[in-house]
Structures are given as structure tokens and as C-alpha cells.
Structure 1
Amino acid sequence: MFETLELTRMAQGLAAHAGARMGVIARNVAHADTPGYKAQDLPPFAAVYDGGAMRSTRPGHLGAGPAAAAVPILAGGSEAPNGNSVSLEMEMVKSAGARQEHDMALAIYRATSGVIRASLGRA
């Protein structure tokens, strides 16, 4: 039932994108001292979410549906003398943003669930 609501599909995509972004950030932090490592990030959720422009009529039709593509891109930034471009301060800022996206997705999902329960007469 929840999969058919566009709002919950978007919240699910936002949560998946935030989780994938946290994985990329963790990999950047793990390689903070690796010579030649280039910091990566994911494109913003708004840029990768297709918004359900093409709607499927049955499962498996038109592929996987509206999902956030988790293809890391180079984040840029200044390089250290060893060629590493990871800035721990920037990774902290990015992780706070990803956490906010995840919290927003959970709040949307929780609110939608409450509205559906109320409409069904369950508190």
C-alpha cells in the first residue's frame, strides 16, 4: 500500500540516497591519509530523483521505478601535497547534511503513516 503513494516513494528514495551518501562520506574519511585519493560525493537528491515522470502499470514495467542513482562523482577541493583531496571538515559538513536528509525522509514517512492510520480509523 505504501509503495503506491508518490510521497512515500520519494521519502524512501531520499532515505536511500542519504544512506548511500553516508557510505561515500565514510569511504572518504577512511581514505583521508591515502596518497592520491580524490574525495567523492553523490549528486544532490533533486538531480537524481526522476519524480515518477513515467509511471509503471505493473511490477517490472519500465525498470526499477523512481530511485536515486548512487553514482559517486569527484567532489573537488584543494589537494594536499600528497595528492589527497579529502578535507575532514568538509566531510563533517556533508555528513550533517546527509543526516538531515535521512531524518527528513523518516519524518515524512512517519507523518504519512499517521495520516493513513487515521483515515483507516486506527489511532
Structure 2
Amino acid sequence: METLAVFSLASQRASWLSARETTIASNVANANTPGYRAQDVTPFASVLQRLQLPMETTAPGHIKPESLAGAKLRVKPSDSWDVVYSGNSVNLEQEMLKAGEVGSAHALDVGVVRSFHQMLMNAVKG
């Protein structure tokens, strides 16, 4: 049986969230280590760009993917770490905000997978 795209994408995002959570924990653990540089994983958006999922239109009134080609969006990485005298760049407030984002994203992913699973089970039963 072929893996459904929603479950595959959710699995990849869960792995990414796990890696980000580990990185955040490492940053917090080294908050007092002189010379330690805070780290973060590459954004999940880059994973989606590598997948190159094609846009589909299912009705004549839908927006065509070609019409979106002119919209040039650029994402600039922000490096807002404050480096203190010891050379350490960990900001505990930022790390706690990132940890909260990871928790919220995980809860969202679990909810989406649970809902999709329920829809799939209802389709099979009906």
C-alpha cells in the first residue's frame, strides 16, 4: 500500500521538530558555557521546497499555478543572537519561545494527522 502524502509529510515534520527540540535543549544546556554559539536547524520550509509538490487545480475557477509565478517572495534569515562578553550567544528567552513554538507545532501536527486518520477510517467504513 502506498504511503499517503499527508502521513509522509507529517512524519518528516515530526522528525524536523524532534531535531529542533534537541538543538534547543542543547542551547539551553550550554547557556553558561563560555564561547558556545547558539544553533538552530534549517527551517522546515526548505524541506517543503525540496519536495517540489505540484499545485493542482480541480475546477476551472481555481487559480492557476502559473499565475503565482510572478509573486517573488524572499525569506531572509534573521540572526538576532546577542553575544555576551564570554562569547556565548544563547538567549534563554529566545530559546524558551522556540521551545513553545515546537510544542505548538507538534500539537497542530498531531491534530491534523488524527483528523485525517478519522476521515480515512470513515471513508473505509462507509
Question: Fold match, TM over 0.5?
Answer: yes
Between the aligned residues of both structures, percent identity stands at 36
- What residue in structure 2 maps to residue 61 of structure 1? none
- What residue in structure 2 maps to residue 42 of structure 1? 41
Q: TM-score, normalised by structure 2?
A: 0.72
Contact 1:79 1:85 (8 Å CA) reproduced: yes
Say if 1:5 and 1:52 are closer, same or farther in 2 by CA, change over 3 A: farther
Q: Deviation above 4 Å: which 4+ runs of structure 1?
A: none
Q: Does 1:19 align with 2:18?
A: yes
3-state SS, counterpart of residue 42 of structure 1: coil
**Equivalent-residue separation in structure 1 for 2:31 and 2:83 (angstroms):** 11
Matches within 5 A, 1:48-67: 48-50=47-49, 52-53=51-52
Unaligned runs of 5+ in 2: 54-78
3-state SS, counterpart of residue 40 of structure 1: coil
Q: Does 1:103 align with 2:107?
A: yes
**Equivalent-residue separation in structure 1 for 2:37 and 2:120 (angstroms):** 45
Q: TM-score, normalised by structure 1?
A: 0.74
**What per-residue deviation string (whole Å, max 9, x for no partner) do you get for residues 31-72 of structure 1?**
000000000001211112356449xxxxxxxxxxxxxxxxxx
Aligned residues: 103
- What residue in structure 1 maps to residue 76 of structure 2? none
Q: Does 1:80 align with 2:79?
A: no
Rg larger in structure:
2
3-state SS, counterpart of residue 125 of structure 2: coil
3-state SS, counterpart of residue 77 of structure 1: coil
**Equivalent-residue separation in structure 2 for 1:7 and 1:105 (angstroms):** 10
